[in-house]
Amino acid sequence: MRAQDIEPFFATLKAANPQPNTELEYTSVFELLTAVLLSAQATDVGVNKATRKLFPVANSPRKLLELGHDRLCEYIKTIGLYRSKAKHLMETCRILVERHGGEVPRTREELEALPGVGRKTANVVLNVAFGEPTMAVDTHIFRVGNRTGLAPGKNPLQVELALLRRVPADYLVDAHHWLILHGRYVCVARKPLCWKCQVARYCDFKPKTPPPA
C-alpha cells in the first residue's frame, strides 16, 4: 500500500464506523481482561455466551477466587482450552489481589506478568480500557496487514511495529478495531469480499476471481 493511500484508507473506515469498539461484552476493566484472556483461539460470540452467565456471579478477582477453579470451569467449559484458561485466570486473580489491590495494572510489564496474558492481550487492555495507541495483532489484523500491503510482516510483532509506524496518529487509537472488523467481515481468510470492500481501491491485493453475479 502506497504511503499516500493510508490516510484515505483509514478515513474511509472511520466514516463507515466512527466509534468502533471490541465485540467482547464487558462493564469493567477486569471483565475486559477476563474476556480477552478467554478469547484466545475462541470466538467473541462464544466468549460472550459464557461471560453473560459468569459475570453476574463473579465479576472481580476476589469473587472469582471465591468461586474456585472447578466452578469456574463449569461456566466456561463451552470455550476452547477452558481448563488451562481457568487455571491462568485463577492465578491472575490471585496476583491481582495480592499485588495490585484487586485492580488491573496499567503498564505493559505488569499486564504481561499475569498468567495467560501475552503481548496481544496486554495491547487490547491498554487500548480499550486505558485509551493507549497500541496495536493488538490477532489473526485478522495479521492477514489484513499483509494482504493489503498496509503492514507486511512475517510474524505478529513485525506487523504490529509496522502498523505503529504507518498508521496516522489521528487514527491510531481506533485502528486495531477497524482492522479487526474489516478482517472479520470483509477481508476474510479464504475468499475476501473485494467486490463489497469500501477500501479496495487502496489495497495491494488483486482478486483472482470475479464477484458473484
Residue 53 within any structural domain of the chain: yes
* Residue numbering of the annotated binding site: 187, 194, 197, 203
How many C-beta atoms surround the C-beta of residue 53 within 10 A? 12
pLDDT tens, position by position, 24-66: 999 999 999 999 999 988 999 999 999 999 999 999 999 999 9
Active site residue 191: no
Max Cα distance, the chain (Å) = 61
User: What are 174-198's pLDDT values in tens digits?
Assistant: 999 999 999 999 999 999 999 999 9
Which of 85, 97, 21 has its CA nearest to residue 54?
Answer: 85
State how far the Cα of 191 lies from the Cα of 40, in Å rounded to an integer.
23
Indicate the number of domains in the chain: 2
Instruction: Pick out the residues of the known binding site for [4Fe-4S] cluster.
Output: 187, 194, 197, 203
H/E stretch holding 124 reads helix 119-124
- pTM value is 0.90
Cβ 86 vs Cβ 76: under 8 Å: yes
- In the numeric block, the cell 486495531 is attached to 176
pLDDT of residue 210: 62
Q: 81 near 46, Cβ under 8 Å?
A: no
5 annotated active-site:
no
Residue 66: count of CB within 10 angstroms of its CB: 12
pLDDT at 209 over 70: no
Domain residue limits at 157: 3-20+135-202
Terminal C-alpha separation, the chain: 28
Q: Could you read off the pLDDT of 145-176 as tens digits, one per residue? A: 999 999 999 999 999 999 999 999 999 999 99
Instruction: Kindly tell me if the per-residue pLDDT of 211 is higher than 70.
Output: no
In a domain, 213, yes or no: no
Same structural domain, 123 and 140: no
Tell me, yes or no, whether 168 and 104 share the same domain.
no
Is 205 within 8 Å of 143 (Cβ atoms)?
no
Among candidate residues 63, 77, 87, 138, the one labeled active-site is 138
118 found inside a domain: yes
Domain boundary among 105, 129, 153: 129
Q: 124 with 144, same domain?
A: no
Task: Give the CA angle between residues 149, 154, 155 to the nearest 5°.
Answer: 110
Alpha carbons 68 and 58: distance in angstroms, whole number: 10
Q: Evaluate if residue 212 carries a pLDDT over 90.
A: no
| Measured distance CA(20)–CA(40) in Å, rounded | 21
Selecting among 49, 120, 174, 196, the annotated active-site residue is: 120
C-alpha 47/C-alpha 36 separation (Å) is 9
Instruction: Assess whether 72 and 55 both reside in one domain.
Output: yes
Residues 38 and 124 in one domain: yes
- Assign residue 99 the CATH number of its domain: 1.10.340.30
* Secondary structure (3-state) at 59: coil
User: Rounded mean pLDDT of 98-117?
Assistant: 96
Distance CA 10, CA 44 (A): 24
